Amino acid sequence: MARRKKIYEGKAKTLYEGPEPGTLVQYFKDDATAFNAEKHDIIEGKGVLNNILSEFFMLGLGQIGVPTHFLKRLNMREQLVRSCEIIPLEIIVRNYAAGSLSKRLGIDEGTQLPRPIVEYCYKDDGLGDPLVTEEHIAAFGWASQQDMDDILSLALRVNDFMSGVMLAVGIRLVDFKIEIGRVYDGDFQRLVIADEISPDSCRLWDIKTGQKLDKDVFRRDLGSLTDAYTEVARRLGVMPNNPPAPGKPQLVN
């Protein structure tokens, strides 16, 4: 069988050349990393869950008119996406204080913010994805003013959608990260939500108990990451048909 052409290998996903020009196959790995890849582990089934959850969120965004790179899910670990030029920014939206914001500003985790706060980090693992301002973005030409207006409005629409979807299943969307790409249609470019939206890139807390259902479970050694992601998938009604749980073969009567 012919080997596929690998375009890019990231920490949690690999991109392969797609079947048609302008498409890519996005493969979700089981690798979990944190603290700029200082902590690394294989969490069996994580890729399957993130593939299905990201499909669910991207399809929902498409239904409310937010453009995404998602085309279709191919199998348990892969989805077909439009190839795009990724803007080198991590766009973070926060509704409650947590993580680096809490550390930086000394605000207790869980404090509701007066309004959603959007932050930008420059995507560079070597530098640890540093926080940057719109001044840096404009001066270094990472995005134009028009792009920044569009990015802000996309980020807030994703926030409203994700907050609502999560609230409906008893989960608080504390914060999340998205990446945005450019696709070209002839002379025109437009921006689409790219990469993935999954519990790897969101903070999700159970509204009643405060239990963490996101990658902090791995970062902070709080228990089983697969159990946490499975709970999110279960509540959203998108559990995969073949549960990813590994285990010994079982006798079927």
Interface with ligand UDP by CB under 6 A: which range of 37-45, 58-66, 68-76, 175-183?
Answer: 175-183
Task: In angstroms, give the least distance from the CB of 78 to ligand UDP.
Answer: 21
Q: Decide: is 172 part of the binding site for ligand UDP (CB under 6 A).
A: no
Interface with ligand UDP by CB under 6 A: which range of 142-150, 169-177, 223-231, 245-253?
Answer: 169-177
Instruction: Output the CA–CA distances (angstroms, integers) from residue 80 to 33, 71, 165, in the order listed.
Output: 24, 5, 24
103 CB-near residues (< 8 Å, 6+ apart): none
Q: Decide: is 147 part of the binding site for ligand UDP (CB under 6 A).
A: no
- The C-alpha atoms of residue 169 and residue 162 are separated, in whole angstroms, by 11
Q: Decide: is 202 part of the binding site for ligand UDP (CB under 6 A).
A: yes
Query: Which of 163, 151, 139 lies closest to 189 in space, CA to CA?
Result: 151
173 CB-near residues (< 8 Å, 6+ apart): 95, 159, 162, 163, 166, 167, 202, 203, 204
Contact pattern for ligand UDP over residues 86 through 125, marking x by CB under 6 A? ----x-x-----xxxx------------------------
Among 201, 213, 230, 231, binds ligand UDP (CB under 6 A): 201
Task: In angstroms, give the least distance from the CB of 90 to ligand UDP.
Answer: 6
Task: In angstroms, give the least distance from the CB of 137 to ligand UDP.
Answer: 17
Q: Decide: is 175 part of the binding site for ligand UDP (CB under 6 A).
A: yes
Q: What is the DSSP string of 76-107?
A: SSEEEEE--EE-SEEEEEEEE--HHHHHHHT-
Q: Which of residues 52-91 bind ligand UDP (CB under 6 A)?
A: 90
What residue has token string 């002379």? 187
- The C-alpha atoms of residue 247 and residue 238 are separated, in whole angstroms, by 21
Q: Which is nearer to ligand UDP, 219 or 235 (CB)?
A: 219
Return the axis-axis angle of helices 145-167 and 46-63, rounded to nearest 10°.
Answer: 110
Query: Applying CB under 6 A, which residues contact ligand UDP?
Result: 90, 92, 98-101, 129, 175-177, 201-203, 215
